[in-house]
């Protein structure tokens, strides 16, 4: 069983998956669903669309200048 949620800075529709050993927990599944509901209600659909378009424009601007929109952090 692979439980997935959606959302990332670059693409809000990209699935975020939980490992199988975590996803099978009934209480964790309910908590994830509750958190997903809170997250979806926190920002309106039009705001999410606007953020997505703004991010795409920023990422394109960076690529045209040879920059990475979100460089990796050094560990």
* Local confidence band at 4 (pLDDT 50, 70, 90 cut-offs): very low
Rounded CA gap, 53 and 6, in Å? 17
Least-confidence region, from 1-15, 18-32, 61-75: 1-15
In terms of residue numbers, what domain contains 25?
A: 4-64
Is the pLDDT assigned to residue 32 strictly greater than 70?
Answer: yes
Has residue 16 been placed in a domain? yes
CA angle 24/7/18 to nearest 5° reads: 20
Q: What value does the CA radius of gyration of the chain take, rounded to a whole number of Å?
A: 16
Has residue 73 been placed in a domain? no
Count of domains for the chain? 1
The first and second tokens of residue 64, run together, are 């045209």
Has residue 20 been placed in a domain? yes
Has residue 40 been placed in a domain? yes
Mean pLDDT of 6-30: 64
Has residue 31 been placed in a domain? yes
């Amino acid at each position: 069983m692979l439980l997935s949620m959606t959302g990332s800075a670059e693409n809000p529709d990209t699935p975020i998956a939980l490992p199988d050993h975590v996803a099978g927990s009934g209480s964790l599944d309910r908590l994830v669903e509750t958190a997903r509901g809170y997250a979806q209600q926190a920002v309106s659909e039009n705001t999410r669309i606007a953020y997505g378009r703004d991010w795409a424009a920023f990422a394109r601007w960076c690529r045209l200048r040879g920059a990475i929109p979100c460089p990796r952090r050094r560990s």
